[in-house]
Structure 1
Amino acid sequence: MQHEDIENLATILNNSGHYRVTKKYQRPEYYNTGDEDDKMIAVFLDIETTGLSYTQDKLIELGMVKFEYNRHGSIFRLLGDFSGYQDPGIPITEYITELTGVNDDMVKGQKIQENAVANYLQDVDLIIAHNAQFDRTFLETTFPSLPPKAWGCLMYDVDWDKEGISSRKLEYIAYKFGFFHEGHRAINDCLAGVHLLAQQLPKSQVPVLKELLTQSKAIRFKLYAVNSPYDSKELLKARGYRWSMSQNDKYRAWSIELNEDKVAEEINYLRSNIYNTSSINIPVEIFDAYSRFSSTNNKSNNHVKYRDKLEWFQKLCTS
């Protein structure tokens, strides 16, 4: 059967309403053409590790794919790739090998040079990962001297629930957009991530990258409901709070991350429904695209950078 016949058959099956056909990802030569002057360079990054803890586990594979984009969310050419293995100095467990496809023989004696990573990222305006909280912390721990870059997250900077996509797993989102890719390779996940960014969201019809750009640029306030009554736990969980530790490790508390336009409403909610007092003491961390998801202590600089916003927040808590 010829390729054209297969394509026609896939179209017939999809249009029947009884089948859903997904296509294998094929790397395109480009997504859009044009000579726009405002083109920038982003990179999609994916990391495989020996476990989930960036303080205890080690990076074993790094994949990155550069691409051109503009502020409207259009993607143009795919640029050069970067791929490398890193010997963690400890045996890779069978579970991790099954999960990542990386085994001891593949990483033995391998080392990713920090200057090579820095050179590759030199002209990059934005780093995107599917789960930036995970990937950024491992990248910074493994290569602590990399210059700061703005970050975006495909998992959390797009409201997939609002778009009718119930899971944030990369493979599932790809399936909902009608394609699949060979997983267990960091570079393949990067290419799939860029391909998703080039699509339009099913309900809002906004380019995925455009939505990510909008959300990643937003100033974020992370509120910690310290000393909240124990019986308020379910109320906080239902509102989207998660149990977490502050950036400076001073306390654990229920926390929520909000855009600036939601902060005043949340303070009023906490005052009326959780603490039942007019004046409340709510610690806050303020993030931007350069500090969000980071494991380093430079986030504390945001309290100087955004001093006016911090003062505004404190007035909300005491007024």
Structure 2
Amino acid sequence: MTQQFDLFVANGVASAKVTGSSAMRHRSPAALSEDDMVRHLQETGRYRVLKKLEPRSVTAAARPGFPLNGVILDTETTGLNHRKDEIIEIGAVAFTFDEAGNIVGVYSGLQQPDISIPPEITRLTGITDEMVTGQMIDVDQLGSIVEPADLVIAHNAGFDRPFCEAFSAIFVGKAWACSICEIDWAARGFEGTKLGYLIGQAGYFHEGHRAVDDCFALLEVLVQGGREPGRTPFAELYAASQRSRVRIFAENSPFDMKDNLKARGYRWSDGSDGRSKSWWIELAEDAREDELRYLRLEIYRWEDADRPVKRLTAFDRFKA
């Protein structure tokens, strides 16, 4: 005999009951404060409540004891190629820090591109041709936030930095950090690195994909910390930005070794981005000798093989 369930009667709206403490059950909904309602839902074990992220307030002056300046930056563009696509929006939130500090400036600006905004970009960002008509990013105002920055942070700096440097010289020569690849989010209990995942698991929701809103969302995630006590994601990111890395190029590697290199984490450069036409990998500086030994023994099979190595700091990482 089969058994049929009516989801709308047996387990649904008609039979739904809210359980909780006896004191809570005897109070009318109108008498519950917002905190009471949230706590009551969470205590049932069946709900997870997300709070709308409210942007932090901007302070008039930096607080003493936070001597460094940072900027969280986000761009919206007409496409993925910084050589031909254009920025249509920049958002920037400035803050002071030692390991975390005050917000001291905010900028958000739209810019009309030379082409019509592709429909897929409008679907993703909500930015339409009508919104950007006649708009231009105020480079002077943006520069007043960016130029004092000791560190520029982007959630995918490998994308944002090339666009920004192509857009204005105010970004050239800055130290950059990437909040995707320079923080071990998995170790902090996060299930993904997309900003939407991070902000949701931190207990918030926000209006995503507009540049300055994403900046505030990222700031909130960076200063909170997930499940790892005692050290914020921002502290981890800042420490990572201070460490040098190396990029090793496996130039002229044997063709039949390409699968081995790919499996080890090497990426292919076709030479169009200004790098050598070769497989390459980026590593912590202290892993350099072990990697060169691997190349000599496993790839080239020649003990004297000496491959090109480029040392990278925050000033030249994430460039095009």
- TM-score tier by shorter-chain length is 0.7 to 0.9
SS at match of 1:84: strand
The 1:232/1:205 distance shift into structure 2, 3 A limit, reads farther
Counterpart Cα distance in 1 of 2:172 and 2:279: 32
Question: Partner residue of 2:77?
Answer: 49
Tell me by how many angstroms 1:121 deviates: 1.8
Deviations 1:163-214 (A, max 9, x none): 3434211111112212111112101000001111111242364211100001
Question: Partner residue of 1:277?
Answer: 302
Alignment check: 8 A CA contact 2:78 2:87 kept: yes
Tell me by how many angstroms 1:39 deviates: 2.9
- The answer to whether the aligner puts 1:155 opposite 2:180 as a matched pair is yes
Question: Partner residue of 2:149?
Answer: 124
Counterpart Cα distance in 1 of 2:30 and 2:181: 41
Which aligned pairs between 1:193-272 and structure 2 lie closer than 5 A?
193-203=218-228, 205-245=230-270, 249=274, 251-272=276-297
Alignment check: 8 A CA contact 1:50 1:58 kept: yes
Alignment check: 8 A CA contact 1:224 1:255 kept: yes
Question: Partner residue of 1:82?
Answer: 107
The 1:28/1:121 distance shift into structure 2, 3 A limit, reads closer
Which aligned pairs between 1:294-305 and structure 2 lie closer than 5 A?
294-295=319-320
Which aligned pairs between 1:155-194 and structure 2 lie closer than 5 A?
155-194=180-219
- Gaps in structure 2 of 5+ consecutive residues: 1-28
- TM score, norm. by length of structure 2: 0.82
Counterpart Cα distance in 1 of 2:210 and 2:37: 30
Deviations 1:98-128 (A, max 9, x none): 1111111111121224333222223222111
Tell me by how many angstroms 1:266 deviates: 1.0
Counterpart Cα distance in 1 of 2:74 and 2:268: 26
Question: Partner residue of 1:27?
Answer: 55
Counterpart Cα distance in 2 of 1:167 and 1:280: 39
Which aligned pairs between 1:9-20 and structure 2 lie closer than 5 A?
9-14=37-42, 16-20=44-48
Deviations 1:274-296 (A, max 9, x none): 2222022322222111111123x
The 1:279/1:119 distance shift into structure 2, 3 A limit, reads same
Tell me by how many angstroms 1:223 deviates: 1.0
Identity of aligned residues (%): 38
Alignment check: 8 A CA contact 2:147 2:170 kept: no
Tell me by how many angstroms 1:10 deviates: 2.8
Question: Partner residue of 1:37?
Answer: 65
Tell me by how many angstroms 1:232 deviates: 2.8
Counterpart Cα distance in 2 of 1:146 and 1:74: 22
Alignment check: 8 A CA contact 1:228 1:275 kept: yes
Number of residues of Structure 1 aligned to a counterpart in Structure 2: 290
Question: Partner residue of 2:311?
Answer: 286
Deviations 1:220-266 (A, max 9, x none): 11112222233333332332222235696253322211111111111
Question: Partner residue of 2:87?
Answer: 59
The code of the aligned residue for 2:84 comes to Q
Indicate the RMSD between aligned Cα atoms, in angstroms. Answer: 2.5
SS at match of 1:198: helix
Counterpart Cα distance in 2 of 1:287 and 1:175: 33
Deviations 1:133-192 (A, max 9, x none): 111111110113545221111111112233343421111111221211111210100000
SS at match of 1:291: coil
Counterpart Cα distance in 2 of 1:12 and 1:129: 37
- TM score, norm. by length of structure 1: 0.82
Question: Partner residue of 2:12?
Answer: none
